Chains A and B, each alone.
Chain A
Amino acid sequence: MSTQKRGADLKGKVIVITSGKGGVGKTTTTASLGAAIASLGKTVAVVDMDIGLRNLDVVMGLENRIVYNVVDLALGRCQVKQAAIRDRRIKGLYLIPASQSDNKNSLNTDDMARVTKKLKQEFDYILIDCPAGIEQGFENSVTGADEAVVVCTPEVSAVRDADRIIGLLYARSITPKLIVNRIVPQMVINGDMLSHKDVEDVLSIELIGLVEMDDRVIAATNTGSYITNDKTSKAGQAYTRIAQRMLGDKTIPIKEPDYDQKGIWSKIGSKLGLKK
């Protein structure tokens, strides 16, 4: 468990990861960023706020070790030590899972304010996996948040919803930052997909990362492992860079996806696993 507990001195930073639209990669992003930040030496608690539809635990491969969940913690039925599951693979990484039997109305914003306050005393970073939507689940997740990360895929519907969420976050005086997820460079070249610049123009908030579409992410989430551990994965590398930026490193430039035309031989080569 985390070493320094300084009474009233709240050291932790609460970052909510939200999007508005479902299925854009919030949970994957939360797990990956949690793993990356912990690997950089910080203590991280990732909190699943998708009460009733929990999946952060599955994505992290920790579903068999759940005893207490965030609702128990919020309603005072257990301590932080009991609810937070320590990930044995990465030092400093803890999961506070959602409850599967309740729903999002089981908690209110006051409960969440108490929870985040408790967590801030124990961890350096608290990443909150916000559920899709703008109702109670969202309200609960943004309570007590210091910062926000908006995940958006380069799709018109995702941009529309992200825009709404950004408006709601600004109304709470939280300045969100943007991650554009699941970019397929070939589709952007063909004009079938929005470029990240189009997304950036409409949403008009600070960009902290671009993550390319990577099939290995799906494999990783299915097996409960972290894409950031795969050093060859572009998505994994992107998440690692984003984590460094979130920790304050301003020197890393945002790596744009390769928008050049790939010839047929290099395509075959990449299929065979040959590096470029």
Chain B
Amino acid sequence: MAEKSILIKGVGDGFRLVIDKSISKKKLNKEVYKALEPLSHLVKGAHIYIDSEFDNSEISQELFPFLKDKFSVESVQPFKSQEKIKADLKQRIRTREVERGWKNSKSDVLLITGRVRSGQKIDASNHLVIYGDVNPGAEIIAGGDIIILGSLFGTAIAGQKQNNNSVIFALDFRPSQIQINDVIGVGGKKKKTSLAEIAFLNNLGELEITDYLEQNPFSKLPWPEVR
């Protein structure tokens, strides 16, 4: 049996033409005609998808007038496998996010305002942002990050449970105790000046606290991402 260099498969609303690389471009039209001719009654009004080793878009454009003339096909397009479709989609999403905005992106953040007093406990399932101060003796717990736009004097426990990526940030970072996942850090002597610092777990799994403006662990990320 002669080797079939063009395979025809039914797909969706038409046919997928799998074109083997042994076919030269010159012979393409002839081979395609030969393959589709027995099915001419089915091909009429159908969409043809080209799946080849060559540039599918180019071939599609070349074949379209020929196939429309001979078989009255509806369209000739390059074939996109599911993976390719998804990859293209991701590519489009990334450019869309950076360019157009984040309407469909959401983060699970509990945003509260006010002073958290001694003996009070705030428990957020994911991230926690506080516009206010946290007094000594207060306890704040979050499944994700803790961001305090104020003074942190109390105890902050982030990354509950099993989240090593969480961070604890405060404009005036002077906690009595912090914890990220299961790593606990004890607060040092009370500093006189306030310093915006961020606490995170480094590559070795140790708690590291850096001056946020000098060096923050997110400054190396190339593009914005939802957290």
Contacts and interface: CB of A to CB of B under 8 A. Distances in A.
A274 to B, nearest CB: 38
A51 to B, nearest CB: 24
Interface stretch (A42-50, A54-62, A158-166): A158-166
A164 B137 contact: yes
Interface string A195-238: 00000001010000000000000000000000000000000000
Interface in B121-147: 133, 135-137
Interface residues of B, number: 10
Nearest to B135: A163
B120 interface: yes
Contacts of A160: 118, 136-137
A135 B136 CA distance: 21
Interface in B94-138: 115, 117-120, 133, 135-137
Q: Chain A interface secondary structure, helix, strand, loop or mixed?
A: helix
Contacts of A202: 135-136, 153
A167 interface: yes
A204 B135 CA distance: 10
Nearest to B119: A164
Nearest to A204: B115
Nearest to A170: B117
Interface string B46-70: 0000000000000000000000000
Contacts of B137: 160, 163-164
A204 B120 CA distance: 15
A166 B137 CA distance: 13
A195 B117 CA distance: 20
A89 B87 CA distance: 91
A161 B117 CA distance: 10
B130 to A, nearest CB: 14
A164 B118 contact: yes
A156 B133 CA distance: 17
A52 to B, nearest CB: 25
B37 to A, nearest CB: 85
B152 to A, nearest CB: 13
Interface in A154-180: 156, 159-161, 163-164, 166-168
Contacts of B117: 163-164, 166-167
A161 B118 CA distance: 7
Contacts of A168: 119
Nearest to A161: B118
A131 B105 CA distance: 53
| 7 nearest CB pairs, A to B | A167-B117, A163-B118, A164-B119, A164-B118, A163-B117, A160-B137, A163-B135
Given A156-B136, A160-B137, A204-B115, 11 more contacts: A159-B136, A160-B118, A160-B136, A163-B118, A164-B118, A164-B119, A164-B137, A166-B117, A167-B117, A167-B120, A202-B153
15 contacts: A156-B136, A159-B136, A160-B118, A161-B118, A163-B135, A164-B118, A164-B137, A166-B117, A167-B117, A167-B119, A167-B120, A202-B135, A202-B136, A202-B153, A204-B115
